Amino acid sequence: MTAPQLAPARRPKVVLFDLFETCLQLEGLRPRFVALGRPEHELELFFARLLHQGMAMTLAGEAPSFRTVATDMLRRTSGRDLDDDQVASVLDGFRELPAHDDVREAFTLLRDAGIAAYGFTHGSAETASAALQNAGVRDLLADVFSCEEIGSFKPPRRVYDFAVQRVGGEPARTALVAVHSWDVHGALSAGLLGGYCERLEGRVPDAVLRPHVVAETLDDVVSGLLALPE
């Protein structure tokens, strides 16, 4: 099988940021699990199952909304007998997730360089936007949108094609920044630039395409993208 042709490493005109875990800290949900009398580690299991189920349903054809999948996976993880209020007590926390410390500087670098930055999620755009607003960084983004609009989770190619079209860009001059190597791999496979932040996974896995920029923090990833030749 021939490997996808990577986009040439040129400075992006548009930068897309993954939101949950890349920009917003899931740690903000942990006390909500504890309040239900559940062990703290269920947060990681819940989110991993949520991504797995959403991706699997995407492969089958079309995915339900992020919240629909999240509701099912929360009950699978923390108890089938959770009532609607208990489910909401956890999932409503996505609106209040704090931003990571490196987010403001990353967004500001792009604003000062005159490059549009967008939040791009497979969760609810309204929910993610509310969290960014609460964190005081929403005004640094041109827009926040979701591939829920096309009934998909990341990372199929059509998701990144949709995103590029949505922002009026071109793949080779549009970058995707994420802490998930599979998300960056998906963007690279679709011809976008890839900026990988090692904060979550610690290194670039051997099985994925090599991102154009790799750094430990989001602001350093952005600095690397800005240093690419025009």
For 66-79, the pLDDT digits (tens) are: 999 999 999 999 99
| Confidence bin at 9 (pLDDT 50/70/90) | confident
For 22-47, the pLDDT digits (tens) are: 999 999 999 999 999 999 999 999 99
Alpha carbon 213 to its chain's center: 17
* pLDDT of 7 above 80: no
* pLDDT of 1 above 50: no
Structure tokens at 63: 């995915």
Query: Which domains are assigned to the chain?
Result: 14-24+97-226 (3.40.50.1000), 26-96 (1.10.150)
At residue 81, the pLDDT reads 93
91-117 mean pLDDT: 97
pTM score of the predicted model = 0.94
* pLDDT of 3 above 90: no
145-160 mean pLDDT: 97
* pLDDT of 4 above 70: no
Preceding omega of 155 cis (within 30 degrees of 0): yes
The 3-class SS string of the chain reads CCCCCCCCCCCCCEEEECCECCCECHHHHHHHHHHCCCCCCHHHHHHHHHHHHHHHHHHHCCCCCHHHHHHHHHHHHHCCCCCHHHHHHHHHHHHHCCECCCHHHHHHHHHHHCCEEEEEECCCHHHHHHHHHHCCCHHHCCEEEEHHHHCCCCCCHHHHHHHHHHCCCCHHHEEEEECCHHHHHHHHHCCCEEEEECCCCCCCCCCCCCCCEEECCHHHHHHHHHCCCC
For 159-189, the pLDDT digits (tens) are: 999 999 999 999 999 999 999 999 999 999 9
* pLDDT of 21 above 50: yes
111-132 mean pLDDT: 97
Distance CA(178)–CA(133), nearest Å, equals 20
